[in-house]
Chains A and B, each alone.
Chain A
Amino acid sequence: MAKQNDRGFLQASNRQPLLFDWIFSVDHKRIGLLYLYSVGAFFLSGVLLGLLIRLELIAPGPTIATAQTYNALFTLHGVVMIFLFIIPGIPGAFGNIMLPLQIGAQDVAFPRLNLLSWWLYILGAFMALTSLFSGGGPPDTGWTFYVPFSSETPTNVSLALLAVFIIGFSSILTGVNFVTTIHRLRSPGMHWGRLPLFIWSLYATAWVQILATPVLGITVVLVMVERIIGFGLFDPARGGDPILYQHLFWIYSHPAVYIMVLPAMGVISEIIPVFSRKPTFGYKAIAASSVAIAAAGSLVWGHHMFVSGMSDTAILIFSLLTFLVAIPSAVKVFNWVATLYRGSISLEPPMLFALAFVFLFSIGGLTGLILGSASTDMHVHDTHFVVGHFHYVMFGGTGFAFFAALHYWLPKIFGRLYNMKIATVAWAIIFVGFNLLYFPMMLVGLRGMPRRYYDYLPHFQGLNMVSTIGSWVLAIGLLLMFINLYRGMRRGAFAGNNPWQAATLEWVPTSPPPEENFSHPPQVTHGPYDLEQAGKP
């Protein structure tokens, strides 16, 4: 066993690594950390934008920004959070670091392609940020870039679209890399029935990335062509159809919701058995439900368009398909709960975030049924109810899973632990702040407050005030959590190889893992959740 102060891949050679040793590294762990740092930075900027939006909405009338600035604020908040944080977050950071470790491989199948993915992601992010300060000013279309507004507005939409295209390309390449890696580089004995559930979820996600993202690519290209050259393909005055844009956009962007949430479910499926000290209940059902969600989730895009003028038949079909996605999602939730049942539960920080995930994601999922049912959707369409719902799914779901993953895997990546008490307090503040922030949105939405509006009627003020206060509570909790994690990874207590006594392969090498992961491909002899076998290769 290596010395406790061995810094593994963090300092592979004898000298202190330079910046170039990182940004040109083809080591999956270093690329994963690059992703982690960059998505972390974009998350914080997204949070800041969100705080500004909430501050503007604290009272009716102009508060801190003009209407145009407000439009730019929520567009940017959406673009940054979705394209730069949630989509690449868990697969880019934790997927990259943990995928080869969990299947006992030395690296992903195409290490250089992996580095290219990160570079494309950074290039796209850079362009998205440039679009704020150049051309006609920050895009004000909302993150959905709906035509005809997006093809008409003088703001810098073309550059933002190019940025989305490039980030999408990066996402496709990551998907290609992951599918190939999972097929080709599993260790001896790591058959499909022994694949950790996180890997199953990454596998399903990667397929969605490959099959859905190109449609977004062609869609944003068409809007760019529309803006620069102008064929009128989506322009009703010239025979085009803006509804077609919405179809193409959601053919990607609804499956993208599962790109965001499937890896999150994978993280939770890793954490719950470890902290219940029980093999996961229904391994095969959880694995199959990941694939089922990916498949069914690709067929439901139309539920974003119930009020756009689709035929009643189409509405009925899309509504039915939407309800079908609830089945595999519920399979997962029931299996997690069944794993907890009679488990020996230890409420350490990763577990707390995982449990919060299950709770918040369930609220998000159940309110999703209200939106998936056409009749109730007509009532709450484009109100703050929708905003509340998708923040429960995206932030309460994927965001909390990201935090859970941070608390679960940082000791592996850096070899050090954070302060457990502070982490627990931070978790509690985040949980309270989150519900204060988003639950009132659903109430105010049910009462009729539209989303994206700059101003509102005075009788909505009470709930908006609560929501804005919640945003500050949440921000304080996030700050506390990040400071604690940062202090932990710098000078926390040494974690040892396997602080949680987990049975998956990534805990076998030293923490932090050495540059080559495993000296030889490990022979896998037991399932990922046979916890009695924990620590044995």
Chain B
Amino acid sequence: MTMQPDALGARIGMWLFLFSELLLFGGLFLLYAVYLARYPADFAAGGQQLDALLGTGNTLLLITSSLTVALALSALQQGRRQLCQILLCATIFASLLFLTIKGVEWQAKFAHGIFPGGTELESLPVGQQIFFGLYFVTTGLHGLHVLVGAALLLWTLGLTHRGQVTAENSVMLENGALYWHLVDLIWIFIFPLYYLLL
């Protein structure tokens, strides 16, 4: 009796893991909710200082990359391996661009003395300090997930190239794409909460 590859099982496992990722961020959203209720004016003032343009750009990038990774999966399932690889490369490129923009954004904040231990941050009202603390932790953790997702897709790209991920055995790419959609989804919550609503 040998184990059969179980694509549905692998998908169930990935979904369960994604639940746990959602809850990881759930803790941060919980803190956001409590502190927003406590310091609404400070949060509004903090939100004004974030660059909505860069945030929008990043949102567009992530949504587009979700599209490309979904197209990559369809391409693979239709047996168009080269197209699949190009689309995966596009996704990975988008993720790097996302991180670059995020870096520019952080850099601009740092330049204004808004960084942990920075004098400018320390002089702000406590509510704004909390806001920027949460902003850095949340976007930092999300950025880390972008990095992990990109690495995962890069690895899958390699497996596709070596013919180990194919039209018949595409669950690895499916799960990578699922993970990527999660990264996108979490950003879809972060973006309005930090850049738009306040």
Contacts and interface: CB of A to CB of B under 8 A. Distances in A.
B130 interface: yes
A184 B6 contact: yes
A251 B38 CA distance: 21
B34 A520 contact: no
A230 B117 CA distance: 7
Contact of A222 (B10, B116, B137): B137
A335 B20 CA distance: 33
B17 interface: yes
A109 B137 contact: no
Interface in B5-27: 6, 8-10, 12-13, 16-17, 19-27
A219 B133 contact: no
Given A106-B3, A231-B116, A239-B39, A183 B12 contact: yes
Question: Quick one: which of B8, B16, B116 has the most chain A CB within 10 A?
Answer: B16
Interface in A187-242: 210-215, 217-219, 221-222, 225, 229-233, 238-241
A276 interface: no
Given A177-B13, A241-B34, A520 B117 contact: no
B148 interface: no
B116 A219 contact: no
A378 interface: no
B6 A215 contact: no
Nearest to A179: B16
A173 B20 CA distance: 10
B116 A233 contact: no
Given A109-B13, A244-B31, A239 B137 contact: no
B20 A518 contact: no
Contacts of A433: none
A214 B27 contact: yes
A214 B31 contact: no
B52 interface: no
A521 interface: yes
Contacts of B12: 179-180, 183-184
A185 B83 CA distance: 36
A183 B10 CA distance: 11
B186 to A, nearest CB: 13
A348 interface: no
Interface in B119-141: 125-127, 129-130, 132-134, 136-137, 141
B137 A233 contact: yes
B8 A176 contact: no
Question: Quick one: which of B17, B39, B136 has the most chain A CB within 10 A?
Answer: B17
B55 to A, nearest CB: 20
B130 A176 contact: no
B180 to A, nearest CB: 19
B30 interface: yes
A464 to B, nearest CB: 39
Contacts of A225: 137
Contacts of A238: 126, 129-130
Interface string A502-537: 000000000000001111110000000000000000
B116 A516 contact: no
A450 interface: no
A140 interface: no
A106 B4 CA distance: 10
Chain A interface size, as a band, is: 35 or more
- Mostly, the B contact residues are helix
A4 to B, nearest CB: 24
A218 B1 CA distance: 41
A184 B3 CA distance: 12
A231 B130 CA distance: 7
Question: Quick one: which of B13, B125, B126 has the most chain A CB within 10 A?
Answer: B13
A516 B125 CA distance: 64
A521 B1 contact: yes
Contacts of B167: none
B9 A239 contact: no
B28 interface: yes
A230 B30 CA distance: 19
Contact of A180 (B16, B23, B129, B136): B16
Interface string B52-84: 000000000000000000000000000000000
Given A180-B16, A239-B129, A516 B1 contact: yes
A176 to B, nearest CB: 4
Contacts of A239: 35, 39, 125-127, 129-130
Contacts of B19: 210-211
Interface string B33-61: 01100110000000000000000000000
Contact of B17 (A111, A176, A229, A233): A176
A180 B27 contact: no
A109 B6 contact: yes
A495 B34 CA distance: 59
A172 B20 contact: yes
Interface string A419-451: 000000000000000000000000000000000
A399 interface: no
A184 B20 contact: no
B120 to A, nearest CB: 14
Nearest to A213: B20
Contact of A217 (B9, B24, B127): B24
Contacts of B13: 109-110, 113, 176-177, 180
Interface string B94-120: 000000000000000000000011000
A214 B16 contact: no
Interface string A248-283: 100100000000000000000000000000000000
13 contacts: A172-B17, A211-B23, A218-B25, A221-B141, A222-B31, A225-B137, A229-B116, A229-B117, A230-B117, A231-B134, A232-B130, A233-B134, A239-B125
Given A173-B17, A210-B19, 6 more contacts: A180-B16, A184-B6, A210-B17, A215-B27, A230-B116, A231-B116
Interface of A: 106-107, 109-111, 113, 172-173, 175-177, 179-180, 183-185, 210-215, 217-219, 221-222, 225, 229-233, 238-241, 244, 248, 251, 516-521
Interface of B: 1-3, 6, 8-10, 12-13, 16-17, 19-28, 30-31, 34-35, 38-39, 116-117, 125-127, 129-130, 132-134, 136-137, 141
| 9 tightest Cβ-Cβ pairs between the two chains A and B | A239-B126, A231-B133, A218-B27, A214-B23, A214-B24, A184-B9, A229-B116, A176-B16, A214-B20
